[in-house]
Amino acid sequence: MKIIDLRSDTVTLPTSDMMHAINTATLGDDVYVEDSETIKLEKLAAKIMGKESALLVSSGTMGNLISCLVHAPRGTEAIMGHKSHIFIYESGGISAYGGIHSHQLKNHFNGTIDIDMIKDAIRINDVHFPSTSLVCIENTHNKCHGFPLELDYINSVCAIAHENNIKVHMDGARLFNACVALDESVDKIAKNVDSVTFCLSKGLASPMGSIICGSADFIAEARRIRKSLGGGMRQTGIIAAAGIVSLNKMINRLKDDHDNATYLANGLHKFPGIDLNIDYVPTNIIFFNFNHPNISSYDLVNHMKSHGILFSDYNGKHCRLVLHHGISRHDVEKVIDVFNKLLS
């Protein structure tokens, strides 16, 4: 039985093109900046992003942590959404390793935070307060239905931050999903932020790795901090070779994942017990609440598992399904069929 794994797009496996590229990669020591594949990937990423420089790191979490450590001196404050990945899912790393104080503001359903709330949250110069050094935004927003941030919104956040001498970091783990959904080029989306991370290992299907992009000075400091965190990984060409394939071949196909998400959401939202807003499926992520008189969400997850269908269930109520390269339209039809047999 084929496992249809909808828990996350992190489960994607490398393509045969990636395996070939990995096998034939020319390797060197990346701590000495001598791994030619890695240098090639970083140059390509910086060019696509319209930034001076880029750095390969092991994960999105490491990319966000390093970016925050560079931008936000110890004891300063970083503004971020209360549903942001950095706040919820990164083990409090910015506080543990950087002494950075997080100031959480309410995320709307689409991942935005009111611009006026950001403005009001910026600290005045007073000994009682930490100074505000950073605003973090997330694009697409994982916990907010995978919504992409509109260009105007990003630019408004950057304007208010920069007027106050504050940096902006964009957690773009799924940034290319945002580009595809908005039909915008990534350099336009990233133009005004001071740094951006994106993941090679999610929808872009590389086995591992994320990239940080920013100014040359920012990346030089990020490289130093990466080393101090134990992130100097030596023959990283085996990661970079796959990453180059991700950037050259795997971006445009993300639209298939978005179309499959829409198709699946349309199939599921009619079933009793499923509370799913089909207008809230802008990219590859589907959330629904499950409330059925006879079936608990625990039973639902286990029943689906017995049919080879995996997805996430949060707090016994909230379910998340993520579409990706490993899921075909045929798989989506099977998922709808199994839900139908259980719930109709």
Ligand X SMILES: Cc1ncc(COP(=O)(O)O)c(C=O)c1O
Interface contacts to ligand X, rule CB under 6 A: 10, 59-61, 64, 85, 138, 142, 171, 173, 199, 201, 210
Closer to ligand X at the Cβ: 28 or 214?
A: 214
177, two tokens: 């999903």
123, two tokens: 């600290």
Integer Cα distance of 344 and 337 in angstroms: 10
Q: Return the sign of the alpha-carbon dihedral for residues 190, 193, 194, 198.
A: negative
Closer to ligand X at the Cβ: 137 or 244?
A: 137
Integer Cα distance of 62 and 91 in angstroms: 11
Nearest approach, Cβ of residue 245 and ligand X (Å): 18
> What's phi and psi for 144, nearest 5 deg?
-105, 55
Give yes or no for a contact between 221 and 16, defined as CB atoms under 8 angstroms apart.
no
Nearest approach, Cβ of residue 330 and ligand X (Å): 26
Helices (H) and strands (E) in the chain, counts: 14, 13
Closer to ligand X at the Cβ: 287 or 339?
A: 287
Nearest approach, Cβ of residue 10 and ligand X (Å): 6
Nearest approach, Cβ of residue 143 and ligand X (Å): 8
Integer Cα distance of 58 and 26 in angstroms: 19
Closer to ligand X at the Cβ: 12 or 38?
A: 12
Local structure of 11: helix, strand or coil: helix
Integer Cα distance of 40 and 242 in angstroms: 12
Give yes or no for a contact between 287 and 312, defined as CB atoms under 8 angstroms apart.
no
Nearest approach, Cβ of residue 287 and ligand X (Å): 13
Closer to ligand X at the Cβ: 251 or 338?
A: 251
Closer to ligand X at the Cβ: 63 or 273?
A: 63
- Write out the E strands in 69-190: 77-81, 101-105, 132-138, 167-172
Nearest approach, Cβ of residue 94 and ligand X (Å): 13
Closer to ligand X at the Cβ: 285 or 304?
A: 285
Closer to ligand X at the Cβ: 167 or 324?
A: 324
Nearest approach, Cβ of residue 243 and ligand X (Å): 13
Nearest approach, Cβ of residue 78 and ligand X (Å): 15
Give yes or no for a contact between 107 and 113, defined as CB atoms under 8 angstroms apart.
yes
CA-based nearest residue to 305, from 293, 323, 288, 319: 319
Residue nearest to ligand X (CB): 60
> What's phi and psi for 311, nearest 5 deg?
-150, 170
